[in-house]
Structure 1
Amino acid sequence: MSHPERLSPPGGEPVGAIAKPPSPNGKSSESLAEFAARYGLTQSAARPPLGRYIRDVWQRRTFIWNFASSKSMSMYTSSRLGQLWQVLTPLLNAFIYYLIFGVLLQQKRGVTDYIPFLVTGVFVFSFCQRSMIAGAKSIGNNLSLIRALHFPRASLPFAFVIVELQHLLVAMGVLVVIVVGFGELPTWHWLLLVPALLMQLVFNIGASLVIARMGAFVRDIQQLLPFILRTWFYASGIFFMTAEKTKGHPLIGKLLEFNPGSVYVELVRTSLLGSYRSDLARQGWTHHHLWLYGLGWAVVAFMGGFWYFYRAEERYGRG
């Protein structure tokens, strides 16, 4: 029995057949673009318009959250202590830094309650640090997913930053216990933690999008990034009071103050620690302008990072 698609009309070509594309030897005058348009063919990995791309990312918000939650739950499944490592890791780091910088090097000058001061800095900066490391790996470590499914690739850096946000929220619960243990009682200033951490979240997403694109095409970024982040960590006032260290050096003080890592750490400290607000007042140092810095960094990083990542959308997973 003959198949319908093999029957030929008077013109000679089988019914339903697609004509051959133009020959590369130049005998055909039809270009590949014209050939594709004639048969309604489109590029499978073309970058969509920016507005549609933003809508696509928003429509996948449930996927982003569920993907992040599953990653967070599976991260420590092979460890005996499991999810407890989300808290133990920054706590152990803070303990080591306290022994070195608080006890041996005596960097706690000007700070009344050094342990809450130090633990707050380590917890908050770790959110930036871990988000960027995760962003650098978000594309390269998920190539099989990228090649198997069609979705906006920005969903991956978003999801990995959400993983780190979930870890931070657990750590913040422990931080509150530590702070209360040192005599800090809840005040209305604690409400400022919400906008401070939201601004940091937006900044981290933007920075992670930039590093995700770089890490997707230059794998050496993953090796170099820990050194850059460690230098940034030591320059962000985690161990010392910025206002105390920059006396007589106004330019250095302004640079350290404008540093986004320091900005978000200081905003959380001044929101959470009444003793630290008193320490700053004794130094004659005000912090209210840091809210403008934090907002500015969040907006610039997110908008710039999203645009930068989006421009290479069709190249992720190639090669």
Structure 2
Amino acid sequence: MTEVVETEGLTKFYGKRRGLEDLDLRIHPGEVFGYLGPNGAGKTTTIRLLLDVIRPTSGRMSVLGADPRDAAVRGRIGYLPGELTLEGRERASDYLAFLGAMRGGVPKGRIEALAERLEADLSVPMGKLSKGNRQKVGLIQAFMHEPEFLILDEPTSGLDPLVQQEFLAMVREVRTSGRTVLMSSHVLAEVQDVADRVGIVRGGRLVAVEDVAALREKAVRRVEFHFDAPVPPEAFENLPGVRDLRVEGPSVRCTLDGRPDALIKAAARFTVVHMASAEPDLEEIFLTYYSDEEGRHARAGVQEPA
């Protein structure tokens, strides 16, 4: 099956400044791929290369099995830019109708249904749209022609929490239909709710690509047990993955890396009254990757361009 996105050694320099370097990336059909990293990490550069807005310094790429320079590919993509500019006196509804016609025709009912779901007021002139309403119009134009591939750059910026949830439901529906989403964000909680896999980018380099389930398994958990009587500390010492152990009478607190099997078996030797586990999220996982990568660069004496 042809990959929706395939890059090999994709690199973009702006003069001497690195925007992206040596990106090898595969995005599979029918998945939601979260592309994570802080502002300036290289996420938007990647998207602009895939859309042929800018050209690479070196490397190769394909989108939907074709060269991004092929104009026919663009009609199969829905795109929401990170900074959407909408100006003028034209009403948002007229603007969307115009875009729909340019894309070969989008039923008016489809636009109205999306506007209702996102609580968007399309009667407002474009130049007077609030940030939140502008973002909603941007989402409508990206989704309305039911593209094979959706590229969404910081899609929830300016949206209130209820609308964010509706947007995430729309993303799930795209995946259910067999279509593909690339969702770039530094708001990690929204990605973990819908993504199948995530790529973490830092300083123009891809640090990791993981299944969301695998990332959670690797994550650090804070675990706490309460027993019906004091327990011996040695029963929990030197367990694989267990660190920062504190045993105080009938209470055991620790940090757990990876699978909990050994810790659970140790606790099962005693009568557990209560157990609490703080589930990890991608925020903590990302910060771990970010810190580890920074440390590796520092130890190697690597100096990155500003």
TM-score, normalised via structure 2 length: 0.22
Q: Which has more helix, going by share of residues?
A: 1
Q: Which structure would you say has the larger RCO, counting Cα contacts within 8 Å and 6 or more residues apart?
A: 1
Q: Which of these two proteins has the greater Rg computed from alpha carbons?
A: 1
**Greater fraction strand:** 2
